Amino acid sequence: MTSQYSEIYQSWQDDPEEFWAIAAKEIDWYEPAKKIFNPSANVYGEWFEGALCNTCYNCVDRHVDGVRADQPALIYDSPITGAKKTYTYRQLKDEVVALAAVLKDRGVEKGDRVIIYMPMAPEASFAMLACARLGAVHSVVFGGFAAAELATRIDDAEPKVIISASCGIEPGRIIAYKPLLDEAIELSSRKPTSTIILQREQLPCDMIDGRDFDYAAETRKAIVEGREIACTPVAATDPLYILYTSGTTGQPKGVIRDNGGHMVALKWTMSAFYGVAPGEVWWAASDVGWVVGHSYITYGPLLHGATSILFEGKPVGTPDAGTFWRIISEHKVVALFTAPTAFRAIKKEDPEGKLIKDYDLSNFRTLFLAGERADPDTIQWAERHLKKPVIDHWWQTETGWPIAGNPAGLGFLPVKYGSPCVPMPGYHMEVLSDDGAPLERNELGNIVIKMPLPPGCLPSLWHADDRFREAYLTEFPGYYQTADAGYMDEDGYLFIMARTDDIINVAGHRLSTGGMEEVVAAHPDIAECAVVGIADKLKGQLPAGFFILNSGVTRDVAEIEKEVIALVRQKIGPVAAFKIAIPVARLPKTRSGKILRGTIQKIADGEAYKVPATIDDPAILDEITEVLKARGIC
């Protein structure tokens, strides 16, 4: 089919409000918007002002009231536990209403915050929807974060209730969540009044009397009592959730998502971008703790009336590199969305793609990759073995949906390897120099989005409008700074090359090296440190820490290395994958004392680098090269 992309993008450029007003017809509103966009509200404007709606109603109730009551809404497939369960939209509603009743009994009302710290169990999605039903604001915290990270989020979000589980399951080990939760609550200064705990048979936990409530027992009681909890109408501009993401310090940024714009944007993407029809089976192989899980495990597919797969497992090792193909064939998945790292892991285990041949993938149409740069090798491997289009697309936690991509629903454009293709309607992209001047096509610079951001993108940061302005809107007035560097070619294709801040992407997980430096620097024997992201064949990037000991420290440095690694795991969590800590005598710096992290990274990656003109002592670069060579890193 000829792509309708140019025509649709043009129609958005001609009249953005009309474009989104038409898209909004796909959502059920209690009250329609009085204004599609009000540029003077909030920090930079607000979408669908005056509208009243409920996200849970649109994800669940309207399908039960319509024709989809008995259609599968959610398929839980957990190769790691052996469990499989399908929930129809009617059963999903029963689960969500019961949990909403439990939350209400624990005092949760519209606007209250609820933290969800869960493994990939279906109850994580029920919890998100139950909050949405009550107009409460959820904040999901990824299970791979440690207690201290959870505590930071508790202090910032001030939740009335936390929903959690007794354990998570990783290949070869069971992670007791409850001690982490208890420790986080202990560390936090804004303690929740209660917790609701899903007891999992793999490792049940002790409960604290009066504070901890049993998920299964409480929801069962609500079902037996026939509790009915109606959807609470909220303003389209009210927050649906807060999702904390790495910023440039250890203090994460609380990205806010509103109700109305979010629904309109996600619903539009399901058909126009991903090319999925209501009733079809869709799979986002991510985790509910990340933005992909929010947008495309829970909300997007359910708003659309599709069936969403909730997968608890890994691309390899649960049990083998054929798991993805088993799920696609068994559940008749039409499209899969995952991170390139998952495919690199599969390719490593099964380079010839032999396991693919064991499965019937006839329903499968498209593979979507995002979360990190998709290297052409991985894309071409997937294309060769799947014989289906493989689509790289680019977005961020902040935007909540694709900024750029090749739209399956509007018809594909030609693929250019290394590019996530073209901007989606809603996004007017430009590339600027560091002093804000527009750059020519093919010139590398700062990628920015002309304000305002489209519906679904963050309206601000939680209780931090000033930080929002400062982090995103100040450096290039009139634009949102993506903090990605790259260029646009003569055909309007974007190329995303690197972050301009200290964020790194490890196995598709977004992490701050600044946050890790704060932890390393806190070690009592360490005077100074630098953490950089170095290239890794499997995970894309890995953090590497370089540290200088305090003078007079005579302890075994190998012991200190181990302690530093353990400290990052304990303070940030295993997800940081921090396993390289290297003692150095000196760190390269500019004459003004700024550590040359970019240059260290280039040395580690074996890339050519220019000795910065402002360097204090160029000999330190040779010292770093020697240390890295000795470790076999470069």
Contact string 577-606 vs ligand COA (x = CB under 6 A)? x-----------------------------
Partner from ligand COA, ligand AMP, none binding residue 218, C-beta < 5-8 Å depending on class: none
Partner from ligand AMP, ligand COA, none binding residue 341, C-beta < 5-8 Å depending on class: ligand COA
Work out the burial of residue 32: count CB atoms within 10 Å of its CB; fewer than 13 is exposed, 13-18 middle, 19 or more buried: middle
The residue (of 68 and 393) whose beta carbon lies closer to ligand COA is 393
Taking the complex as a whole, the smallest distance from the CB of residue 199 to ligand COA amounts, in Å, to 17
Q: In which residue are the tokens 């390139």 written?
A: 340
Q: What are phi and psi of 208, to 5 degrees?
A: -95, 120
Gap between the Cα atoms of 568 and 121, Å rounded? 27
CB 54 within 8 A of CB 259: yes
First-to-last C-alpha distance (Å) of the chain? 47
Interaction of residue 286 with ligand COA, rule CB under 6 A: yes
Interaction of residue 292 with ligand COA, rule CB under 6 A: yes
The residue (of 79 and 143) whose beta carbon lies closer to ligand AMP is 143
Taking the complex as a whole, the smallest distance from the CB of residue 506 to ligand COA amounts, in Å, to 6
Sole binder of ligand COA in the list 342, 448, 496, 604 (CB under 6 A): 342
Sole binder of ligand COA in the list 159, 305, 315, 459 (CB under 6 A): 315
Contact string 512-551 vs ligand COA (x = CB under 6 A)? ---------------------------x------------
Interhelix angle 122-134/89-105, nearest 10 degrees = 60
Interaction of residue 198 with ligand COA, rule CB under 6 A: no
**145 contact partners, CB below 8 Å, separation of at least 6:** 289, 572, 573, 575
Q: What does the angle CA 314 – CA 119 – CA 258 come to, to the nearest 5 degrees?
A: 110
Interaction of residue 400 with ligand COA, rule CB under 6 A: no
* Listed ranges 100-108, 225-233, 501-509, 584-592: which one lies at the site for ligand COA (CB under 6 A): 501-509
What token pair was written down for 145?
Answer: 């974060």
The residue (of 280 and 484) whose beta carbon lies closer to ligand AMP is 484
Gap between the Cα atoms of 251 and 473, Å rounded? 19
The residue (of 205 and 335) whose beta carbon lies closer to ligand AMP is 335
The residue (of 98 and 288) whose beta carbon lies closer to ligand AMP is 288
Residues 165-184 contacting ligand COA, CB under 6 A: 168, 170, 175
Taking the complex as a whole, the smallest distance from the CB of residue 250 to ligand AMP amounts, in Å, to 17
The residue (of 271 and 341) whose beta carbon lies closer to ligand COA is 341
Taking the complex as a whole, the smallest distance from the CB of residue 372 to ligand COA amounts, in Å, to 8
The closest alpha carbon to 108, from 135, 83, 142, belongs to 135
Work out the burial of residue 586: count CB atoms within 10 Å of its CB; fewer than 13 is exposed, 13-18 middle, 19 or more buried: middle
The residue (of 54 and 286) whose beta carbon lies closer to ligand COA is 286
The residue (of 88 and 419) whose beta carbon lies closer to ligand AMP is 419
Gap between the Cα atoms of 61 and 554, Å rounded? 66
The closest alpha carbon to 578, from 542, 629, 628, belongs to 542
What token pair was written down for 293?
Answer: 């899980």
Q: In which residue are the tokens 């070869």 written?
A: 172
Binding site for ligand AMP (CB under 6 A): 245, 291, 370-374, 392-394, 396-397, 420, 484, 496, 499, 505, 510
Gap between the Cα atoms of 176 and 172, Å rounded? 13
Q: Is 102 helix (H, G, I), strand (E, B) or coil?
A: helix
What token pair was written down for 143?
Answer: 């299970």
Interaction of residue 574 with ligand COA, rule CB under 6 A: yes
Q: Is 230 helix (H, G, I), strand (E, B) or coil?
A: coil
Gap between the Cα atoms of 231 and 70, Å rounded? 21
Contact string 454-493 vs ligand COA (x = CB under 6 A)? ----------------------------------------
Partner from ligand AMP, ligand COA, none binding residue 393, C-beta < 5-8 Å depending on class: ligand AMP
The residue (of 9 and 401) whose beta carbon lies closer to ligand AMP is 401
Taking the complex as a whole, the smallest distance from the CB of residue 504 to ligand COA amounts, in Å, to 12
The residue (of 125 and 419) whose beta carbon lies closer to ligand AMP is 419
The closest alpha carbon to 283, from 258, 255, 315, belongs to 315
* Listed ranges 194-202, 268-276, 333-341, 440-448: which one lies at the site for ligand COA (CB under 6 A): 333-341
**H or E stretch covering 505:** strand 503-506
The residue (of 51 and 335) whose beta carbon lies closer to ligand AMP is 335
Taking the complex as a whole, the smallest distance from the CB of residue 281 to ligand COA amounts, in Å, to 19
Kindly state the DSSP code that residue 576 receives in the 8-state scheme.
G
Gap between the Cα atoms of 455 and 436, Å rounded? 25
Taking the complex as a whole, the smallest distance from the CB of residue 221 to ligand COA amounts, in Å, to 29
Gap between the Cα atoms of 132 and 425, Å rounded? 27
Taking the complex as a whole, the smallest distance from the CB of residue 363 to ligand AMP amounts, in Å, to 25
Gap between the Cα atoms of 589 and 543, Å rounded? 19
SS3 of 182-196: HHHHHHCCCCCCEEE
- Looking at 472-533, list the stretches that DSSP marks H as alpha helix, in order from N- to C-terminal side: 513-521
Taking the complex as a whole, the smallest distance from the CB of residue 290 to ligand COA amounts, in Å, to 5
Gap between the Cα atoms of 315 and 336, Å rounded? 12
The residue (of 408 and 587) whose beta carbon lies closer to ligand AMP is 408
Taking the complex as a whole, the smallest distance from the CB of residue 578 to ligand COA amounts, in Å, to 9
Residues at the site binding ligand COA, with contacts judged by CB under 6 A: 143-144, 168, 170, 175, 286-287, 290, 292, 314-316, 338-339, 341-342, 345, 371, 506-509, 539, 574-575, 577
